[in-house]
Amino acid sequence: MIDRGKRNVLGVLVDAIDYDGAADRVLAAARERRPLALTALAVHGVMTGVQDPAHGARLNSFDVVTPDGQPVRWALNLLHGEALADRVYGPDLTMRVLARCADEGLPVYLYGSTADTLGRLVSSLHSTLPALKIAGTEESKFRAIRSGEEVEIAGRIRESGARVVLVGLGCPRQEVFAHAMRPLLDVPLLAVGAAFDYHAGTLRRPPAWMQARGLEWLWRLGLEPRRLWRRYVILNPAYLARLTAQKTRLWPAHPPEPSTRPAPSVPA
């Protein structure tokens, strides 16, 4: 197990951690009924924090930030000599956490995506992990929540008896949501990106060879070119340029101070 703490990647504090270390952190919080916020960041997630200092401060308040993308793992190795052998990919971490929740009888709550995707996801999870207890599901409202609504959402999650909450709203909406909900809940929240779609079967996963070579972005771009071309064509070169600048000390990449205040407009 690896869990060596946080490292500065372009000013975003990413954990030098592996799957076992991340899953252990989540399960310990679930057993002890204490809050924890985890997100798995690829290049897009890191660059969102770089370009928006307020969001960077939000990310730096997360208890665990895993290197979801291979380029983020490479950055940890290049900048800090971590020698991590693998990334901690959100969809795979999701299944590891859910398998352990099933083994320990810890109910989970699924928040985000659409009613159709959630229905497919629940069916898939029941097939793969028959012992998993799903305490509740709630689809995304695709809007900012109204004043006081976050308390209502937290109340529904508490009443469900869930001990782990998975949040699938997409980056950066899911991180904004998890950051705002953390003070209201005594359970871990995991922002897991496309995990809902992958495990529901509504989004095809790239071949293993593309994942290993950090080419998942190319696969996603091929599937959704009109929606994602700006994300990858602009952000990927900017990421490499900033990484080079941090490595050569041309840019200090000072991390923003962690934020304890929720965003003024929390997405749901």
Q: pLDDT tens digit string along 95-120?
A: 999 999 999 999 999 999 999 999 99
DSSP letter for 207, please: P
**Under a CB-based contact definition with an 8 Å cutoff, are residues 72 and 43 in contact?**
yes
Residue 188: strand pairing partners: 36
Instruction: Please compute the mean of the pLDDT values over residues 47-57 and round it to a whole number.
Output: 96
Distance between CA atoms of residues 69 and 243, nearest Å: 14
Domain ranges of the chain: 3-247
- pTM, full prediction: 0.93
* Contacts for 136 with CB less than 8 Å, ≥ 6 apart: 109, 110, 156, 157, 160, 162
- Cβ atoms of 112 and 174 within 8 Å: the answer is yes
Quick one: average pLDDT of 68-93?
A: 96
DSSP annotation string for 74-108: HHHHHHH----SS---HHHHHHHHHHHHHHHT--E
Band of pLDDT at residue 59, cut at 50, 70 and 90: very high
pLDDT band of residue 222 (cuts 50, 70, 90) is confident
Among 42-51, 67-76, 135-144, whose mean pLDDT is lowest?
A: 135-144
pLDDT (tens digit per residue) in 112-154? 999 999 999 999 999 999 999 999 999 998 888 788 889 999 9
